Structure 1
């Protein structure tokens, strides 16, 4: 199911300007055959000199055209006084000029036919409104000729596979990254370069490092699509401070999932302080973090909290094994380590089922004092009988059917008298089962760890870190295996009122989308209320009707258990009096008389207009489950009934709907239909819709439907 259209329509942060969409131009950023450096410096330590120095030292095979009107040569290369003087049109340009000269350079490059430019230049949107206006002119000049821009205020772009270093990141002086399959995309230049340096220090090969800067043109979403298209990229790491264009990011993440390319994301700005810092740093909206979590989970992204987690998971993901039904089998030489691993697996929800009983008995015959259940402890006896390692490990996979194996060998795996024989035994098991995840927890020299890695094992010093990474492979596997969802219901055009509707008007509006409520009638006189109650049937509920009183219960505006005509008469007078007393300026449109439903489970369904992702649906049980326990689930709108039912069954209180302890089963099918229709209504209503609160919704016993008892709709006037 695709919701890009609805998200783009509803998100205030989505870019609405027309943008060139030629992906072949964008692809040249990663693999240019020629690059012009505007503002090139002869000094390799200056910002304008570093890209040239880096590319020449690393063997970039393309052409480099330095542009500097004051020099005939730059770092031994022929220099040119202007873009117009270049001997040919470069694929990509790096712009390193003052902000006052940037527009002239961008215009000249665009007119010359350059595909894309990387703007190091700062002093634009990050400094305020005047800078933002100047930045918009850069984009306009580029787009006039189809050129694309990274930045401004970008630290650049690197492709180690092609030795292209369009960056001035000084971390390259520590060590240039080796070519590999992991792409880094970061809104923060400095932190993205930090990720590059740490990945390089941990021997993780990189296919790209992209530091997006202000995202005046190309956004994180665009760069995500670029690396999805890149055959060298196998795994993607994202660092985000704020999402500037939700529709593009969602499209890129969906493309990555279809291509089976794992995406890890460090989305910062969870706290109020962090969120404020993100907005001031990137001039973008952080949004509700719970919504971000829900959207990333929906799209198969593994969200990480630390750089360590990101690198651990990325390193294991490059192995390319993503089991949808992930289970962990453990072979250990330490019972204590087995307990630690079991606790870690339980904490992240990674199943560790026991070995089959027959297998346990067979292994005990081989080693009577082993612990064969899972974790499987071979004890120190393996030092005397090294073949136990391959025998027990093979049994874990062949008989236990575990999709992931973690071996704990501590420092013994790095000891010269043991390591060669241990590697040999582990490789025997590894070669028999190439489709299984193999991770080891051991201590060894960097060279020996590299040998284990070359044998096909991911090595972790801390077994708990290995467990977190292994569990993430299952998340990717489930995301890649997820079938296409059912389509969302079709809801016709929704005409929202000019201001917040009353409860009755809100229910009428929702009824057009097939969202049912109990039989009811708005009455303006006592006699009309009595006739309505007698027609509907007692008992009834009576509520004050006013578009200006959204929370009626707070002023005593709801009366329950009205059982006869006298009660209706008294109730009508009481409600009108309470309305006039509590809200003298409010418009009073009468009293709502409704059938009082009993026997259902109270639920809450809602819509929230998220500033980043547009309308987001919420489901939970009513009462304390929402107010105190916060047992709710969120999902981007719109979605089909299959997703709605998954949402309903995912909350902790779901057993109350499923017939726990002899309760009648609730009509979950009807509830899912209502939730799905509400999600479609929210998208059809457009960005003026701010929120919907259906609280309570009564989920009646199975086969008897679900009904909105109260409805509040808030709109932007």
Structure 2
């Protein structure tokens, strides 16, 4: 959208001058009655128009028989009536020039063919008229700053909603109410909450992007049931990063089975949620897996700019057991706690501060004093070995927060980020820390989750440049090698031989492998199309005859006139390098353990494409099967640098729209000894053709 469109959308959605409640009820216990009750209770300054042709008055407000009877065109209409009435209501809104219509009802694409047709009609109305549609299955919109509680969510009966600095967009309508109630208990308010629903028109990314210029909004919380409308979400995340506004997401689906996509191993191994994980991290979004962390991560993400995300965490505590829980939760998420250096321990000793050295600086009960904790934090926050300091406070936090919590509050503006975890239930201390802007956690799980999520964020890379997708065709292996050559990906030398031709000398020595070469046979082993260890001209001639018989028996309809011949090669390890354009996340690149274990082990690393060689090195380090090639326990070292260059090279397909590649997979890619490079010995490529 353009900046002007963003402003118009934000105004109509979050700052409407007038709202109409289509199907409003006088009964506050009904879904249609709640929005009227909430808007009146919160003192919404705009004009409220209940629409109900059977009543003259709704909850003390004049009721109107229809939208046409209103004295003005409302900025936003909340349709509260049943599913079968929705499309006529939306058409009526569009004809009047309403800017935004929100649909409460369900019963659309999730309910079968008839519902999908209704949803298609809504999409058509939006496209043809320009009206923006929120939902279906949206519980509404809330802006605590203006008293706009335009929602049917019963949780908003909660009085005195505190305004805050973060904006919430949620696929789940009930979740906005849950966050408000949980947030109020923690002293956390919101700058706005939107129940996005089914995203027939307006989606999470588009809604959030429209609010980016609002100075009262400093960050975003997203509750995602799936990754949809990836381009809009990508554009929003980039823009939020450019403005320094952190984004935290809780996404469902970690346990979902891997989705089968196209016909490559890349699609089978990279499950939908794995791609979503890479997408969120690579877009600079902190993805949490603990609900409490969704509320608690923002202060930490705001304190740590994405470009300088710390990696080294130091822990100081007054309770060894409490600190051990925090360290464990960090450890299982891959965050290693750094011990204090000898110089830091010496500074503490010279200051007469009690501590037990180790991975965690345990001050024991002797540290439960204001002067002791304050002096210790002053030293740790200037220690060069720490990028982030976590203070874990024990029982004193509940009834004597002035001892160990007060110094944390006073050190909040120190030279390095400082966070706190309180072991007891200490709401007053948590409120004081929250008010001071100190990232603070009530449980070790949320603490570990939030810190790990913030540290896992990655700065967004280059924006891919892709051709318009169309039907995809499979390239033959010989054509696939042409694409690899264009990218600078090394592959084994090849010679093509035709069935029925007289044998010709090969340009390389025996032994060789012979493979059928046809765009119609992407998986050659399934039709007996690969023969290994061919040692002479005579054996090659016999192999060609065998391949021809196999094709006649197992793939008689496949067009295949050629056989591809390559020298037999062996490496220290086999890997899979894959590229594909995901319909939501966009281009991804994957490095995985190769060979027959590729789909079984699912030992892989995924990033959005393109990636630099430096990022590709990180991917290499994440694949467990490659660790022996680092020289582990005397094993031969593999050419992992050449592997990283190859991963980066394949990922550049995201910047080469002229090649029109939808998917490309090298499996296996042989990793040779250090200094000898890598070599592709099989490739499968799908190319878009003009629609």
TM-score of Structure 1 vs Structure 2, range by shorter chain: 0.7 to 0.9
The superposition leaves residues 245-268 of structure 1 with CA deviations (integer Å, 9 ceiling, x where unpaired) of: 222222223323333333232322
1:340-419 correspondence runs (5 A): 340-367=325-352, 370-382=355-367, 386-400=370-384, 402-415=386-399, 418-419=400-401
Higher mean displacement: 267-276 or 641-650: 267-276
Q: Judging changes above 3 Å, is the alpha-carbon distance between structure 1 residues 645 and 494 closer, same or farther for their aligned structure 2 residues?
A: farther
Query: Out of 533, 538, 541, which is 1:566 matched to?
Result: 538
Is contact 2:513-2:532 (8 Å) kept?
Answer: yes
**1:639 and 1:445 mapped to 2: Cα distance?**
45
**2:126 and 2:315 mapped to 1: Cα distance?**
56
Q: Judging changes above 3 Å, is the alpha-carbon distance between structure 1 residues 483 and 659 closer, same or farther for their aligned structure 2 residues?
A: farther
> Is 1:22 matched up with 2:5?
yes
The superposition leaves residues 344-396 of structure 1 with CA deviations (integer Å, 9 ceiling, x where unpaired) of: 3322233422223133134235548631445222222245x541111111111
**2:379 and 2:119 mapped to 1: Cα distance?**
62
Specify the alignment match of 1:529 in structure 2. Answer: 503
Deviation of 1:324 after TM superposition, in Å, equals 0.9
Query: Out of 420, 431, 449, which is 2:430 matched to?
Result: 449
The superposition leaves residues 476-529 of structure 1 with CA deviations (integer Å, 9 ceiling, x where unpaired) of: 4xx3xx3744x77x899999886x454334434655565553332221257643
Specify the alignment match of 2:637 in structure 1. Answer: 663
Query: Out of 57, 72, 77, which is 2:41 matched to?
Result: 57
Q: Judging changes above 3 Å, is the alpha-carbon distance between structure 1 residues 404 and 272 closer, same or farther for their aligned structure 2 residues?
A: closer
**2:670 and 2:654 mapped to 1: Cα distance?**
18
Specify the SS of the correspondent of 1:230: coil
Is contact 2:289-2:449 (8 Å) kept?
Answer: no
Specify the SS of the correspondent of 2:28: coil
Q: Judging changes above 3 Å, is the alpha-carbon distance between structure 1 residues 146 and 24 closer, same or farther for their aligned structure 2 residues?
A: farther
Query: Out of 24, 48, 52, which is 2:32 matched to?
Result: 48
Specify the alignment match of 2:175 in structure 1. Answer: 191
1:253-272 correspondence runs (5 A): 253-271=237-255
> Is 1:544 matched up with 2:531?
no
Is contact 1:659-1:665 (8 Å) kept?
Answer: no
Deviation of 1:403 after TM superposition, in Å, equals 3.3
Is contact 1:153-1:213 (8 Å) kept?
Answer: yes
Query: Out of 460, 472, 475, which is 2:456 matched to?
Result: 475
Deviation of 1:290 after TM superposition, in Å, equals 1.9
Deviation of 1:654 after TM superposition, in Å, equals 4.1
> Is 1:651 matched up with 2:613?
no
Query: Out of 647, 653, 666, which is 1:672 matched to?
Result: 647
Is contact 1:23-1:226 (8 Å) kept?
Answer: yes
1:130-141 correspondence runs (5 A): 130-141=114-125
Structure 2: tracts of 5 or more residues without a match: 261-269
**2:584 and 2:101 mapped to 1: Cα distance?**
27
> Is 1:170 matched up with 2:170?
no
**1:116 and 1:318 mapped to 2: Cα distance?**
32
**2:537 and 2:470 mapped to 1: Cα distance?**
37
**1:645 and 1:411 mapped to 2: Cα distance?**
45
Q: Judging changes above 3 Å, is the alpha-carbon distance between structure 1 residues 684 and 59 closer, same or farther for their aligned structure 2 residues?
A: farther
Specify the SS of the correspondent of 1:439: strand
**2:420 and 2:356 mapped to 1: Cα distance?**
20
Higher mean displacement: 569-578 or 405-414: 569-578
Task: Count the aligned residue pairs.
Answer: 675
**2:107 and 2:222 mapped to 1: Cα distance?**
25
**1:420 and 1:669 mapped to 2: Cα distance?**
53
Specify the SS of the correspondent of 1:504: helix
Specify the SS of the correspondent of 1:465: helix
Query: Out of 192, 205, 208, which is 1:224 matched to?
Result: 208
The superposition leaves residues 49-69 of structure 1 with CA deviations (integer Å, 9 ceiling, x where unpaired) of: 322221221122222233333
Specify the alignment match of 2:494 in structure 1. Answer: 520
Is contact 2:660-2:688 (8 Å) kept?
Answer: no
Q: Judging changes above 3 Å, is the alpha-carbon distance between structure 1 residues 336 and 97 closer, same or farther for their aligned structure 2 residues?
A: closer
> Is 1:635 matched up with 2:607?
yes
**2:389 and 2:588 mapped to 1: Cα distance?**
39
> Is 1:436 matched up with 2:417?
yes
Is contact 2:575-2:593 (8 Å) kept?
Answer: yes
Specify the SS of the correspondent of 2:187: coil
**2:108 and 2:424 mapped to 1: Cα distance?**
49
**1:274 and 1:259 mapped to 2: Cα distance?**
35
Is contact 1:182-1:318 (8 Å) kept?
Answer: no
Q: Judging changes above 3 Å, is the alpha-carbon distance between structure 1 residues 679 and 483 closer, same or farther for their aligned structure 2 residues?
A: closer
**1:673 and 1:349 mapped to 2: Cα distance?**
25
> Is 1:161 matched up with 2:167?
no
Is contact 1:540-1:562 (8 Å) kept?
Answer: yes
1:141-160 correspondence runs (5 A): 141-160=125-144
The superposition leaves residues 102-130 of structure 1 with CA deviations (integer Å, 9 ceiling, x where unpaired) of: 34433333333322122224444343333
Higher mean displacement: 349-358 or 556-565: 556-565
**1:91 and 1:646 mapped to 2: Cα distance?**
49
The superposition leaves residues 412-439 of structure 1 with CA deviations (integer Å, 9 ceiling, x where unpaired) of: 1222xx43344444444445x1652231
Specify the alignment match of 2:196 in structure 1. Answer: 212
The superposition leaves residues 69-113 of structure 1 with CA deviations (integer Å, 9 ceiling, x where unpaired) of: 344443333333332332233222222234444344333333333
Deviation of 1:450 after TM superposition, in Å, equals 1.9
Is contact 1:615-1:683 (8 Å) kept?
Answer: no
Is contact 1:287-1:612 (8 Å) kept?
Answer: no
Is contact 2:576-2:594 (8 Å) kept?
Answer: yes
Superposition TM-score, scaled by structure 1 size: 0.82
Specify the alignment match of 2:312 in structure 1. Answer: 327
Specify the alignment match of 2:111 in structure 1. Answer: 127
Is contact 2:579-2:651 (8 Å) kept?
Answer: no
Deviation of 1:295 after TM superposition, in Å, equals 1.6
Specify the alignment match of 1:298 in structure 2. Answer: 282
CA RMSD of aligned residues (A): 3.8
Specify the SS of the correspondent of 2:624: coil
Deviation of 1:167 after TM superposition, in Å, equals 0.4
Deviation of 1:404 after TM superposition, in Å, equals 2.6
Is contact 2:105-2:137 (8 Å) kept?
Answer: yes
Higher mean displacement: 59-68 or 19-28: 19-28
Query: Out of 562, 565, 568, which is 1:593 matched to?
Result: 565
Q: Judging changes above 3 Å, is the alpha-carbon distance between structure 1 residues 619 and 273 closer, same or farther for their aligned structure 2 residues?
A: closer
Is contact 1:637-1:682 (8 Å) kept?
Answer: no
**2:379 and 2:2 mapped to 1: Cα distance?**
57
Is contact 1:637-1:683 (8 Å) kept?
Answer: no
Q: Judging changes above 3 Å, is the alpha-carbon distance between structure 1 residues 193 and 665 closer, same or farther for their aligned structure 2 residues?
A: same
**1:670 and 1:445 mapped to 2: Cα distance?**
52
